[in-house]
Amino acid sequence: MSEEPARSSTESSSAASSGLDFEDTALTLRLPGSAAADRSPRASHAPPSPKAQVVGWPPVPRNRRNALPRSKFVKVAVAGAPYQRKVDLEAYAGYQQLLAALQDMFTSHFTVRRVGDEEMELVDVVSGVEYVPTYEDKDGDWMLVGDVPWRMFVEACQRLRLMKSSEVVNLAPRDAQ
Amino acid sequence: MTYFPEEVVEHIFSFLPSHSDRNTVSLVCKVWYEVERLSRRSVFVGNCYAIRPERAVLRFPNVRALTVKGKPHFADFNLVPPDWGGYAGPWIEAAARSCAGLEELRMKRMVVSDENLELLARSFPRFKALVLISCEGFSTDGLAAIASHCKLLRELDLQENDVDDRGPRWLSFFPDSCTSLVSLNFACIKGEVNSGALERLVARSPNLRSLRLNRSVSVDTLTKILARTPNLEDLGTGNLTDEFQHESYAKLASVLDKCKMLKSLSGFWDASPSCVPFIYPLCHQLTGLNLSYAPTLDYSDLTKMVSRCVKLQRLWVLDCISDKGLQVVATSCKDLQELRVFPSDFYVAGYSAVTEEGLVAISSGCRKLSSLLYFCHQMTNDALNTVAENCPNFIRFRLCILEPKKPDAMTGQPLDEGFGAIVRKCKGLRRLSMSGLLTDKVFMYIGEYAKQLEMLSIAFAGDSDKGMMHVMNGCKHLRKLEIRDSPFGDGALLGNVAKYETMRSLWMSSCNVTFKGCQVLASMMPMLNVEIMNELVGSSEMEENHGDHSKVDKLYVYRTTAGARDDAPNFVKIL
């Protein structure tokens, strides 16, 4: 197929080198404005890792740490899917893991196209539509996933929705644009 | 006084309010010592290794209430390795031999086994009250022994213990003849209890005033129980998640309505917001409310409840309440004396919705506030100054900014001035825990102004030995000093060695004290136990591989008349 030579050319050239750049049209779940690097825009304010821990700090006794069960299940809707799913936000250490899990979860809705040795991308073979992750916060507003520190997001998120990029207004600039 | 018969002297002593007063009169002369020791009913042992159990029970053979504390406070935060010690066995065995009249036993941070509980249950025919706080090592089988043999049991209070759950049968061991229960707290038991046995037990306990259930107890069981206990004063709920019918909650609301004496409410394990309105009718009479195990309640659920609690004196919540919610507390709860705000996110530098603004609001609305535990995202000197002005009555002030060494959020300065204001204005302050960016200056203020301070907790603070020296030299009433991750070394450790005789204990971990410094301390002060805990297993390695100048990971120093303890594990070296 013609993807393979195109793939190898994009690997060695920069992302915006040609209008038919494969990566631009590929369907992925990705934070707006982020490239392959997993640093969120707030990296300078975030702790070294979302699960950074110092022994015995904060000074909360064990029974209290164990008593609060760390699970937060939220509904996930995908535009066009016949039913919703639920994910436990506490099960993930950050945005990358969450998005990877969402991709896994909806592989039956999307076709998984295996490209190259390792990479898989979610493609809607019918429409070729790109999806953007959004969430509803405690005020009932729909927000773009990825702007705030992970823990703040987990606290605020009430439900998730993968919206078609055509539905989303005021999208952050993407690499392709 | 020497011409009074001993009975009169004894009667006079019975009016002495505190242990330390009785200790003092026993030093006056031999006669008074004898009268005092034989008439002493209540003995408090703040450090189980400070005295041999046999010596304590032989001195006070007629003791009725014994309290013993084991591990150092930082054990709560996993800083003390497991198997360190604090065994209840020797105390219970000694009491069993010498104090047959024992009626009450309270233990905190000790290791209690089922065998110990069996012995306890069989040895004291008048035993009435067992209170275990933050203990471990026992199972529900041990509780079964207590239930079956303590015929006069009035109080079984289990707080935050690590209990091995061997099934629900233990509750059924209370015999039908047991009708004396006044207080039952099994909130820390993890598993199911037999609801029928629980209902029958409650039905035959007309004196029950305090009942704290665990997570497994359903709304329906709770309703049936409350129907039997209209005189209940303190309730810890069971399960209040939203898997129940509206009808169940309506029935609960109607029995709660009859509990006119109910003053204190806790539990609320993962409580659903839909259960909250059913509690409203009770709110106006509550003096104590613990919602700190309900992360599912958000700011609006919490404020709707709290705004109705006009008589509240004690409030424990999670930081989900946010600064806005604390403002509601400030306007509604004018009688508030104790506030604890716990974090819902335990990661270092995690997000918290609570900042200095919430605390300032509380201080301006709740002028009677005397006890505070406050986990927050940030703090400022200005805020602390305002808090100190508004609430000069603080006895306990514990502030924990989630990110270590975080400076003033507005100015970027250390928080020395803010805590300085607290110790200067709160002249009755007995307990202080600090956090955030702190230099030696804050310790200078503490040494100068905190004259009533008894317990000080320090983490990630200070610049040099001078800091610790200010405290050691200035705080005349200091009993417990616990320090972690601060740059205090041998100079501070050895700067005022006589002070340790007047204190219960010193804990230092991840500081700069060396092996040599500890050896010097031990040789200068034979009445202290100097315990060193290093990561390396086996004390021989400590001597071989580490020179005298190697740093000590963990140091625990305490005065004792008992000498080196013989139950220390091999990672503890006693110099």
Please state, in angstroms and rounded to a whole number, the distance separating the CA atoms of residues A70 and A88: 9
Please state, in angstroms and rounded to a whole number, the distance separating the CA atoms of residues B430 and B308: 32
Higher model confidence: residue A85 or residue A17?
A: A85
pLDDT value of residue A168 = 62
pLDDT, average across residues A49-55 = 54
Per CB-CB distance under 8 Å, the chain B contacts of A147 are: none
Phi, psi of B81 (to 5 degrees): -60, 150
Nearest residue of B to residue A152 by CA position? B351
**Above 90 in pLDDT, residue A67?**
no
**Above 90 in pLDDT, residue A72?**
no
Contact with chain A for residue B293, Cβ under 8 A: yes
Strands (E), B230-370: 234-236, 264-266, 288-290, 314-318, 338-342
Cross-chain Cβ contact A62/B348 below 8 Å: no
pLDDT value of residue B266 = 96
User: What percentage of chain B reaches a pLDDT higher than 70?
Assistant: 96
The b/e string for B375-398 (b: 16+ C-beta within 10 A; e otherwise) is: bbbbbbbbbbbbbbebbbbbbbbb
**Above 70 in pLDDT, residue B333?**
yes
Q: What is the DSSP letter of B284?
A: T
Contact with chain A for residue B409, Cβ under 8 A: no
pLDDT digit string (tens) for B273-306?
888 888 898 999 999 999 999 988 888 999 999 9
Among B161, B188, B348, whose Cβ lies nearest the Cβ of A52? Answer: B348
User: What percentage of chain B reaches a pLDDT higher than 90?
Assistant: 79
| CB-based contact B322:B354 (threshold 8 Å) | yes
| CB-based contact A171:A11 (threshold 8 Å) | no
pLDDT value of residue B223 = 93
pLDDT, average across residues B454-458 = 98
Q: For chain B, how far is it from start to end, CA to CA, in angstroms?
A: 45
3-state secondary structure of A5: helix
Please state, in angstroms and rounded to a whole number, the distance separating the CA atoms of residues A124 and A112: 9
Q: For chain A, how far is it from start to end, CA to CA, in angstroms?
A: 27
pLDDT digit string (tens) for B463-510?
999 999 999 999 999 999 999 999 999 999 999 999 999 999 999 999
pLDDT digit string (tens) for A87-134?
888 877 678 778 878 877 775 555 544 444 433 344 554 556 677 788
Among A60, A68, A152, whose Cβ lies nearest the Cβ of B351? Answer: A152
Q: What is the DSSP letter of A12?
A: H
pLDDT value of residue A169 = 62
Element (H, E) at A121: strand A119-123
The per-residue DSSP string of B198-242 comes to HHHHHHT-TT--EEE--TT--HHHHHHHHHH-TT--EEE--B--T
pLDDT value of residue A65 = 82
**Above 60 in pLDDT, residue B231?**
yes
pLDDT digit string (tens) for A28-45?
555 554 444 333 333 333
Higher model confidence: residue B152 or residue B344?
A: B152
Q: Which A residues 14-53 touch B at CB under 8 Å?
A: 47, 50-53
Higher model confidence: residue A166 or residue B374?
A: B374
How close does chain A come to B547, measured CA to CA in Å?
26
Contact with chain B for residue A151, Cβ under 8 A: yes
pLDDT value of residue B84 = 95
pLDDT, average across residues B29-37 = 90
The pLDDT confidence band at residue A1, using thresholds 50, 70 and 90, is very low
ipTM given for this complex: 0.87
**Above 50 in pLDDT, residue B162?**
yes
- Kindly state the tokens that stand for A82: 């016949």
